[in-house]
Amino acid sequence: MKFTREQLEEIALNENEYHLIIDRLDREPNNVELGMFGALWSEHCGYKHSKPLLKNFPSDGPHVLVKPGEENAGVVDIGDGLAVVFKIESHNHPSAIEPFQGAATGVGGIIRDILAMGARPIALLNALRFGTLDKPENKHLMKGVVEGISWYGNCIGIPNVGGEIGFSSSYNHNPLVNAMCVGLVEKKNLLSSSVGQDGNVLLLVGADTGRDGIHGASGLASRSFVNDKEMRPAVQVGNPFLEKLLVESCLEAAHHGTVEGLQDLGAAGLTSAAIEAAQNSGGGIDIDLSCIHQREKDMTPYDIMLSESQERMLIAVKKGCEDRIGAIFDRWEVPYADIGRVTNKNTARITYGANLVTEISIDALTNAPTYRLKGNINPKVVELRQYPLNDLPLHEAGPSEILIRLLSSPNITSKQSVYRQYDTQVQTNTVVGPGSDAAIIRLRDSDKGIALCTDGNSRYCYLDPYQGGAIAVSEACRNISCVGANPLAITDCLNFGNPEKPEIYYEMEECVKGMADACQSLGIPVVSGNVSLYNETQGNDIYPTPVVGALGLLEDFAQHATAGFVREGDAVVLIGQSEISGNCASLGASEFLETMFGIVGGHPKIDLELEAKVQKLCRTGVKDGIISSAHDCSDGGLAVALAECCIVNSHGFVSTCDINGRWDAALFGESQSRIIVSLNPSVLEIFSQLAATLNVPICKLGTVGGSRLTFKNLIDLPINKLQHSWESGLSNHANSQ
């Protein structure tokens, strides 16, 4: 064998795959070819273990213009000749090594995916997971990640409008950094990630090419961390100021009418951008690497082809128009180079001046092998599901003290100390920003708005990946429905451990099934996404963490609801339950159970038929002007959701309902498909009739009023105390010694 096992491992190829490469080429590959195969057949680019599973996702819908896998991002039609382009991606492994640049370049990369479609980026969101804050290294990772996201997004001038942050010991040493970007484009200006026709000119635009990021896709994102091997050279370095110029110049060029394709240089750099764009066109490419502007001396063809230097785009321009397009980049002072031509062959011909580097089949490079494994449930999880919740003693702290502690727990407490580092108002279109059920962005020169959120609960997915996957989709869409928007589509980032372990593959398979079934029940297509596997450090896998980014449409952005109670005397109603019952099963997988007892156990469940009806009732109530406020009842259960409704606008609440069963389950259980709404008492009967028509159970909880949250004889707390606990919790944990 020409290459050693160690060399193959460095680029995440196994011996069987190496022999498959030899069969396809009918010869041994050279060094550059092997590097290209390693990149394109990596888990990050080739989706070897996930592609067979992802076929289960529904991707059709009346609004869908571009499906997953067809382009850099998904596209949905929102009417009036406009389309929204959106996608979420991970930058987990780079952020574990170098949190600031890892997170910053994750933001830069997802922005370029949206730009590649010809869309202007208008919003950023993120979903972050960290280890427990009692460990200094997790505090360091969180600080660096947040600063990296803030630095890049603020410098480039795109508002960061939403997201979520979770904490668990399963993320120790392996944080998750999932970045989502949303763009707006006129449908007629949509671009393709292709090279177009024979004779088109290929321009490489943007930053000089350096050695940063080599093996980022194959070596860093497609294998586990098994030791403390120094891998910082595989982490890219970002320049948001250049990216801003790149965005503006590329958008101007895209509207020139002579650009036939635009592709981001992200994971696997020029190899992925050029080869995949050629595949999308059914043609070939002829590239001279000596023409590429280089940042470092003595770079080899291997370095250039595998570099993941940031802020670079590949543009296919009609023959004879390259000088006019080049003039645009000259005016913006963005470097560019004419690096080659499009051919009508299914071949990538790569040279360095007069020297031939490779002439290789596009199909051989892009058709990565896929694996359908057999998964097995972890016996430990089976045992945890069966935890005897009925035998759980009532906690001695009592309901009021428990509520205070939950409000200050890292997973529930306000993330304002993070959000305030982001510019949420730049571009002046943010109607509702971070911290709400969903963000709302208005569309200029229109009454329309779009609602955006990210969601996912890894504890649910660990205990039952099918139910957890279904809940992730449902809760993301529920948050969109809470503001009154109609969910149109989702994007997802599937974060898992080592898929070669049967129990991890089982988690993947079941999560995807649950997500797919929830999408079918709610009528929501998946239009884009990313898979991040091998999230494992020294043999310890993360919790299965599917993150869902949801997009909704408001025909009138002014007609929306937020979480906070708005008027004294309003009736407060729970949608999704006819009574407040203390069923111990609802404590399964709850924040209460882990925070107060240190137990991760029980069996989360969701009724998807009820979920669809609950969301429809909420949307209808907001659209008809019946509902004044709406808030999803999720982590921490009913009591926490009520407290959050009170805190937002400093309105109190007085309960009038009774509890059946145990108070801990009634107040802190996490039964799904529930939304707390407030409304004028004069329309309560109308709302009740609407609920009956849609066959949705509801329960009147009480009334907005006063300066305290009171729930029968169980909870009686001033709003300012609840607010202090909720607002200071994250800072207290982050600053503790």
- Catalytic residue from among 44, 215, 631, 651: 44
SS3 399: helix
Closest CA to 450 of 181, 632, 165: 181
Strand 698-704 with 653-655, pairing: antiparallel
Closest CA to 702 of 622, 620, 646: 646
In 3-state terms the chain splits into helix, strand, coil percentages (rounded to 5) of 40, 25, 35
Residues, the chain: 737
Q: How far apart are the first and last CA of the chain?
A: 53
Q: Which amino acid is at 636?
A: G
| Angle (CA) 331 337 342, round 5° | 120
Side-chain half-sphere of 588: how many Cα atoms within 13 Å? 27
87/467 Cα distance (integer angstroms): 24
Contact of 234 with 267, CB cutoff 8 Å = no
For CA atoms 276, 280, 282, 286, the dihedral sign is: negative
Strand 336-343 with 201-206, pairing: antiparallel
CB atoms within 10 A of CB 543: 26
636/162 Cα distance (integer angstroms): 20
43/41 Cα distance (integer angstroms): 7
CB atoms within 10 A of CB 503: 17
SS3 262: strand
Contact of 589 with 459, CB cutoff 8 Å = yes
Residue 63 appears among annotated catalytic residues? no
180/178 Cα distance (integer angstroms): 7
- Catalytic residue from among 49, 63, 91, 215: 91
Q: Could you tell me the two tokens for 266? A: 């992200």
Can you say whether residue 636 is alpha, beta or left, with left for phi > 0 and alpha for psi between -120 and 50 degrees? left
Find the Cα–Cα–Cα–Cα dihedral 595, 596, 598, 601, rounded to 10°.
Answer: -90
User: In sequence order, what DSSP letters do the residues of 328-377 get, joined into one string?
Assistant: HHHHTT--EEEEEEEESSSEEEEEETTEEEEEEEHHHHH------PPP--
CB atoms within 10 A of CB 382: 10
**Backbone phi and psi for residue 627, each to the nearest 5 degrees, phi listed first:** -90, 130
Can you say whether residue 213 is alpha, beta or left, with left for phi > 0 and alpha for psi between -120 and 50 degrees? left
270/51 Cα distance (integer angstroms): 23
Residue 44 appears among annotated catalytic residues? yes
Catalytic residue numbers, as ranges: 44, 91
